[in-house]
A and B are shown apart, each in its own frame.
Chain A
Amino acid sequence: MKDKVHIRGKAAHCALGDDIDAIVTAMREQRVSLSDMPLTLINMDYSRPYFRLSASSAGASTDMETRFYDVLYRVIEKAIRDAGLSSQETERMAIFFGSTSIDIPIYEEHYRNAQHVLSQSASGYGNIASEITKRFHTGAASYTFTTACTSSANAFLYAAAMISQGFIERALVVGYDLFSHIGFCGFEALKLITAPPYRPFDKNRQGIIMGEGCGAVVLDKAGGSPDDFYFLGGANACDTHSVTTHDPQGAAIAKVMRAALMQAGVDAQAIEAVKAHATGSYHNDLTECNGLKQVFGSQIPPVTGLKPFIGHTVGACGVIEMILFSEAIKAGFIPPTLGYEIHDEELAVAPLTQALAIKTGTFLLNYFGFGGNCVSLVIANQKSFGNP
């Protein structure tokens, strides 16, 4: 990487709220807000847990399309404001959008009363990024990443690389997934959704709990404030073991973590802590822990998973979890992995059970998804590396 790329501005909206300070406070106080989602649409008389955006902050409109863009645009406006961008700077900002469901939540509402809506009127995966371009009068390119749960992590990886190489001046990276019946019913059909509590890495873990959210960061060569995080390096690779699960030995995951560290120019020993993907599914946690052991040996740094706070926000988790993780560190702590109680000898990795006091350092963030997609990112804040 030629130049450091800073997270100059950020905003997020998730189950913990839409204000960064309030979200960090909720993590510090280990508060969560979990809803029940009935499966009446498919004639089932039971519910499943889901981390919804809070009603008061989720946009008042009952029209799905209006609500969809209200949530999205508000988060982006806040991120741009947080970055302190001038209108000229915004004009030269490329858009990197990552999502699993894209605009399916909008189309789903039409399917209640109609058929063949998608095949008659689909406007394409790139449409939301195009709408962002129009709304915010950005004149640069837009890219939409659809790589399942790594979508916005990939968006971040490429935005940072292209800024560093001088192809673009700055970028808005957005991860966005609202509740979709396809995702919710699909994961339930695969028997992947667990009843509460959500407990990644625990011996009794039984699956994931999904969530919705939107996160946006403005990346720039110039940082906003001295403690802003910056990108050091990252990698993407494909594990061809299976379309739904990674090789349980963790070889591909270890390979992508090593590639990210190499790209970042740091040794494994330099990593202060790992934000694990930690979905809570039997296979994903096993695979990730096996990969961590290969990379770090017996010296695994503190590890935590953030999904018990906000749910698995699928394609949006890349950006949202990065914001939550980095903002918590700026506030002086890394949150523990909620729900974890019983050590699993098979994993042989114990995540944080209490908050870890820390303000600076170099950190590894993992993201894995269907389709064998693996992404690892390395970020740091300025105090740990001197002035860039």
Chain B
Amino acid sequence: MYIHSFGRFVGHPVEDIKYYKQDVSQYTQLHFRRANRFVLLSLAGACRCVHGRGIGKDTGVYLTTENGNLGDTEAVLDQIFHQHQFPMPYNFINTMSNTASFYVAQSLELFGRNLTLSSKQFSFERGLELLRSDQLCGAVKEALIGGVDEAYFSGQQFATKFERNADTIDMVEGSCWLLIKDREEGALGRVAAIETFANMSQVLSWMKARAFQGPVQAGFGLLMSAPEKQAIIVALPHSSPFDYISDYGYYDSATACGVTAFLERYQGNCLVHVNKDFLGQFVVLVIEQR
């Protein structure tokens, strides 16, 4: 899986939806009158990724997200349960989480595979696994894959989920995408490995047995503890920590943000990203950049 370009749209939420519509209008002539925040957020990242590039009509779209259209879903629940009204049709349609991946495909005229996928903390990594499977069976030669999530609505929501104080984290929204092809020519780098492990000792054994290309940046998911991070740094020779969450803030599919930030900053380096979920499982993602 060769990475040919990337696009990143990350920041604090802006209340006025026109901000997003204006941003997206730089890249597409389609008008998204009824589009919601999540749809526009998805478009903002995906359009940046392919801006100025020709991509094939059979390009696949893999949108990974943990929460999808939370805002519209809440609005529809309010319409039904508190206003006792039918939902507005476009509010209802926007509750379907794949509405955003559809609009990405429609705006870029892409007729290939189209998926919306979640896997808790590993959504982006699992999306890459599905793309790898599609490339292997020849179903996809070229694909856009993104990690998109709205910002947490409140510190309480974050604290409930992560059982940690929200004050320590800058909560942002994000939409970060990669254009991945099966062709090496012209690539910025490649996805060298995606591996799942049941515990830290398996992670460390795997790292010790593997050679990594060039200086290594070690990135970490939010649930990685300080001792776990330290053990990884020790296990990786010539590595230095890459704390993209401190630099850009946190949203639920933030691994995608880490990868795009790495691609922007560290030519010739290798990213080893270690993520962890609430069940104590680990996923290691290795990106090698030219």
Interface residues of A (CB under 8 A from B): 1, 41-43, 100, 104, 107-108, 111-112, 115-127, 129-130, 133-134, 139-148, 154, 158, 161-162, 164-165, 167, 181-182, 185-186, 188-190, 235-240, 243-244, 252, 255, 259, 263, 369-373
Q: In the complex, are the beta carbons of A123 and B161 less than 8 A apart?
A: yes
Q: In the complex, are the beta carbons of A142 and B113 less than 8 A apart?
A: no
Inter-chain contacts of A240 with B (CB < 8 A): 102, 105-106, 109-111
Given contacts A108-B81, A129-B119, A141-B196, 18 further A-B contacts (CB under 8 A): A111-B77, A118-B74, A139-B198, A143-B117, A144-B118, A146-B118, A147-B114, A165-B133, A165-B137, A185-B80, A186-B93, A190-B89, A236-B114, A239-B111, A370-B93, A370-B96, A371-B98, A372-B105
A-B contacts at CB below 8 angstroms, number: 206
CB < 8 Å: which of A139, A143, A373 contacts B119?
A143
With both chains docked as a complex, state the minimum distance between the C-beta of B163 and any C-beta of chain A, in angstroms. Answer: 12
Q: Does B84 contact A (CB under 8 A)?
A: yes
CA distance A150 to B288 in the complex (A): 35
Inter-chain contacts of A373 with B (CB < 8 A): 98, 102, 114
Q: A42-B86, A127-B120, A142-B119 are contacts. A104–B73 as well, Cβ < 8 Å?
A: yes
CA distance A373 to B76 in the complex (A): 23
CA distance A125 to B136 in the complex (A): 27
Q: In the complex, are the beta carbons of A147 and B86 less than 8 A apart?
A: no
Question: Which 9 pairs of residues, A with B, have the shortest CB-CB distance?
Answer: A186-B92, A238-B114, A125-B118, A119-B153, A371-B98, A371-B102, A189-B86, A126-B120, A111-B81
Q: In the complex, are the beta carbons of B98 and A147 less than 8 A apart?
A: yes
Count B interface residues, CB 8 Å.
68
Inter-chain contacts of A238 with B (CB < 8 A): 61, 101-102, 105, 110-114
With both chains docked as a complex, state the minimum distance between the C-beta of A377 and any C-beta of chain B, in angstroms. Answer: 13
Q: A190-B92, A236-B113, A263-B139 are contacts. A185–B118 as well, Cβ < 8 Å?
A: no
Inter-chain contacts of A148 with B (CB < 8 A): 96, 98
Q: Does B142 contact A (CB under 8 A)?
A: no
Smallest Cβ-Cβ distance to B123: which chain A residue: A126
CA distance A167 to B134 in the complex (A): 12
CA distance A100 to B92 in the complex (A): 12
With both chains docked as a complex, state the minimum distance between the C-beta of B35 and any C-beta of chain A, in angstroms. Answer: 10
CB < 8 Å: which of A107, A130, A139, A371 contacts B99?
A371
CA distance A353 to B196 in the complex (A): 50
Inter-chain contacts of B139 with A (CB < 8 A): 235-236, 259, 263
Q: In the complex, are the beta carbons of A42 and B118 less than 8 A apart?
A: no
Q: A145-B115, A158-B133, A185-B87 are contacts. A119–B74 as well, Cβ < 8 Å?
A: yes
